[in-house]
A and B are shown apart, each in its own frame.
Chain A
Amino acid sequence: MTGSRAEGLWAQAWRRLRRRPAALVALATLGLIALLALLVPLLSPFDFATPDWDALRQRPSGEHWFGTDALGRDLLVRIMWGCRISLLVGLAASLISVLIGVLWGATAGYVGGKTDSLLMRTVDVLYSVPFIPLVIVLTVLFGRSFLLVFVAIGAVSWLDVARIVRGQTLSLKNREFIEAARALGVGNATMIRRHLLPNLLGIVIIYATLTVPAVIIFEAFLSFLGLGVHAPLASLGTLVADGAHHLKSDPHLLTIPALFLTLIIVSFGYLGDGLRDALDPHEAR
């Protein structure tokens, strides 16, 4: 480093991300969908729940841009509600799972020894538990509840994060700057807060971006099976399921929600790839 101020992590990451057009397009797509999901239900004259018996199963038109479903409800508004729910569940459940994963993995890696092998053995065991059937059983036994779906998804998807964070912590622990900090008498809490977590941030953000689409798929999967959100509210999963029932007569009921679900998932994938290159240059191909 010379006298001039070094470029910070974020400025560097942003500069690298800007060189990845796919990631930028993905980011813009997600922003646009989020904006539409927020605004369309507010501005549209239709709402997601009220049936219109005079406008059953209409093809896309000037009045109903995406047509209407079997109960005459405006598909555009329903899809935007679906996007709201998918994005909300995706972000919130990912946040829960990343928090659990970071705490678990960082503790295992930092403390080491018996604690480490106990914590990681637990992760190994949980890894081979068939969670999707178990979550289905849970929703069946305790009734469909939005909160349960939420907690179940969040509780399941932290395993990957825990493994990654542990590995990263292990390799950080033996680096010189940690040793130097310890020699200066820095306590455990400060060490984790000031020195470990900031260095874990990059990889955590990458995995959070990859967790979000996985969670969205999982929620849509449960809703597709009729175990997710309650009618008349719709998530993208229920809309795809509705569309699958009517695909012989009204294929647009299937294709349009499927398109939005795919767009969201693909965009998160490309964004995650871009962030990986931007935040973790060692991993770049």
Chain B
Amino acid sequence: MLRFILRRLSIAIPTLLVIVTLAFTLLHATPGGPFDTAKHMPAAILKSIEAQYHLDEPLWRQYLRYLGSLLRGDLGPSFQYRNTSVNELIRVGFPVDVLVGGLALLVAMLIGGALGLTAAVRRDTGWDHVPMFFASLGVAVPVFVVAPLLILIFAVQLQWLPSGDWHWGEPRYLVLPVTALALPFIAYIARMTRGAAIEVLASPYIRTARAKGLAPTTILLRHALRPILMPLVSYLGPAFAGVLTGSIIVESVFGLPGIGRYFLVGAINRDYTLVVGITVLYGVLIIAFNLLADLCYAWLDPRVRLQA
């Protein structure tokens, strides 16, 4: 198991370096500095601001400085929100992402998994065809189409739910964003679970269990569930990345104060440190989650551990 973890880390660390270096290069390959727009600024003040952000040092020193502060978890000051650090902005915004994204993933796994299992067990009945038709539609329709359509139906036409905004602790404001974010993943997970379940349920050891006269529920839950869940676990990494990018859309459509919206507003206002800081955070999160998913996978399937 230790060797397995080490092997995974040997991919994760270069990946992180690539992300940070890419981010840093992008930051400094920009035509013009971040303060060029401040035309009326006296040269002396510009100089002192540049010195404050260490923009007057040679590039390699800036790179090392950036790496050093990253190691301490410091993403630097925001260019746009003066006197506010990127860390503070993330501290304010990230809980929103955790709540919305976490709920969406949870909902997607529970509903998607349940739909997929039912479809596999009741194959070629209405329980199979109807959800799978919607799943093949749901896989195709992207979040930025689903989100406005949900607003149109449930907020404008039916007026059941608010069309946006955010109030901590009020679930009404959570329903539509979480649904919009979760729908494509529900569809994908349902299809994947169905495929895996059909394959597992057709395998010889399940037939043996049936021949021994075990109850269908016992077979499903005790013998079949674990191998059925395997592809789901390995899908968790990509799903997590998808939820992160989906939250950029969902937050801007529903007006949620998460880091996805900071990211977009920062991008439009050319707040370089904020944008790069959030990109690095996304990178770290995705890598960490992939690692976690891999570990879960190895824990569930001994063959993976032994191979490594």
Contacts and interface: CB of A to CB of B under 8 A. Distances in A.
A86 to B, nearest CB: 12
A183 B139 CA distance: 48
A128 B15 contact: yes
B144 A134 contact: no
Contact of A254 (B31, B139, B152, B268): B152
Contacts of A124: 11, 15
B118 interface: no
Contacts of B287: 128
A49 interface: no
A284 interface: no
A255 to B, nearest CB: 8
A285 B264 CA distance: 42
A58 to B, nearest CB: 19
Contacts, number: 124
A170 B12 CA distance: 26
B140 A213 contact: yes
B247 to A, nearest CB: 11
Interface string B2-16: 000000000110110
B144 A237 contact: yes
B149 A258 contact: yes
A130 B26 contact: no
B279 A134 contact: yes
Contacts of B237: 128
B276 interface: yes
Interface of B is mostly: helix
Interface in B98-141: 136-137, 139-141
Interface in B226-253: 237, 241, 244-245, 248-249, 252-253
B18 A125 contact: yes
Interface in A237-255: 237, 240-241, 243-244, 247-248, 251, 254-255
B297 interface: no
Nearest to B276: A137
B288 to A, nearest CB: 10
A266 B145 CA distance: 13
Contacts of A217: 142
Interface of A is mostly: helix
Contacts of A142: 30-31
A221 B275 contact: no
Contacts of A192: none
The interface centre, meaning the residue of B19, B136, B140, B283 with most chain A CB atoms within 10 A of its CB, is: B140
Nearest to B22: A134
Interface in B267-308: 267-268, 270, 272, 275-276, 278-279, 282-283, 286-287, 290
B136 A269 contact: yes
A262 B148 contact: no
Interface in A216-270: 217, 220-221, 224-227, 237, 240-241, 243-244, 247-248, 251, 254-255, 258, 261-262, 265-266, 269-270
Contacts of B244: 130
Contact of B149 (A134, A254, A266): A254
B282 A262 contact: no
B63 to A, nearest CB: 17
Contacts of A96: none
B293 to A, nearest CB: 11
Nearest to A237: B144
Contact of A136 (B141, B267, B286): B267
Contacts of B268: 140, 226
A265 B136 CA distance: 11
Interface in B250-269: 252-253, 263-264, 267-268
Interface in A127-172: 128-130, 132-134, 136-138, 140-142
17 contacts: A128-B287, A129-B15, A129-B19, A130-B19, A130-B244, A130-B245, A134-B26, A137-B279, A140-B270, A237-B144, A247-B152, A247-B156, A254-B152, A255-B149, A258-B145, A269-B139, A285-B195
Given A124-B11, A129-B283, A254-B149, 5 more contacts: A130-B245, A141-B26, A141-B270, A225-B252, A266-B136
Interface of A: 121, 124-126, 128-130, 132-134, 136-138, 140-142, 213, 217, 220-221, 224-227, 237, 240-241, 243-244, 247-248, 251, 254-255, 258, 261-262, 265-266, 269-270, 285
> What are the 10 closest A-B residue pairs judged by CB atoms, nearest first?
A244-B148, A130-B282, A265-B140, A132-B245, A266-B140, A140-B267, A133-B279, A224-B144, A125-B15, A258-B145
